[in-house]
Amino acid sequence: GIRKLFSGALMAASRGAMVTVGQLSCYDQAKQLVLGTGLMTDNIFTHFVASFIAGGCATVLCQPMDVVKTRLMNSKGEYRGVIHCLSDTGKLGPKAFYK
């Protein structure tokens, strides 16, 4: 039904916001750090390194949301909502969010 159609939509939207925030803020900071070392100038390689670091930061930041989103979308009604899924996943330990 309609409820199943939108299961995980809140987590998907939250994940999108966190990826954007994570990438933009980490990219800017990584670029400033790379330029601050004095080993590189502002060129394409500097942007590549900063983008690579930003992608890693965004992945680490959003992986827990991806796990919860996937669990919600694949659930057969065993979760009452996002909070229930978060607490159920949290009972498995912190590594459960990085499967």
Q: Rounded to the nearest 5 degrees, what angle is found at the Cα of 79, between the Cα atoms of 95 and 1?
A: 130
Predicted confidence (pLDDT) per residue in 65-98, tens digit:
888 888 888 888 888 888 898 899 999 998 999 8
Q: What is the pLDDT of residue 49?
A: 93
Find, among 35, 29, 37, 36, the residue nearest to 53 by Cα: 29
Find, among 56, 76, 57, 79, the residue nearest to 68 by Cα: 79
Tell if the pTM clears 0.85, that is, is over it: no
Region 18-40 average pLDDT: 89
3-class DSSP assignment, residue 6: coil
At residue 2, what is the residue type?
I
Is the separation of the CB atoms in 68 and 82 below 8 Å? Answer: yes
Q: Given a cut of 80, is residue 7 above it in pLDDT?
A: no
pLDDT-derived band at 8, boundaries 50, 70, 90: low
Which position has the token pair 């809140």?
10
Is the separation of the CB atoms in 22 and 54 below 8 Å? Answer: yes
Predicted confidence (pLDDT) per residue in 30-60, tens digit:
999 999 998 888 899 999 999 999 999 988 8
Q: What is the pLDDT of residue 16?
A: 86
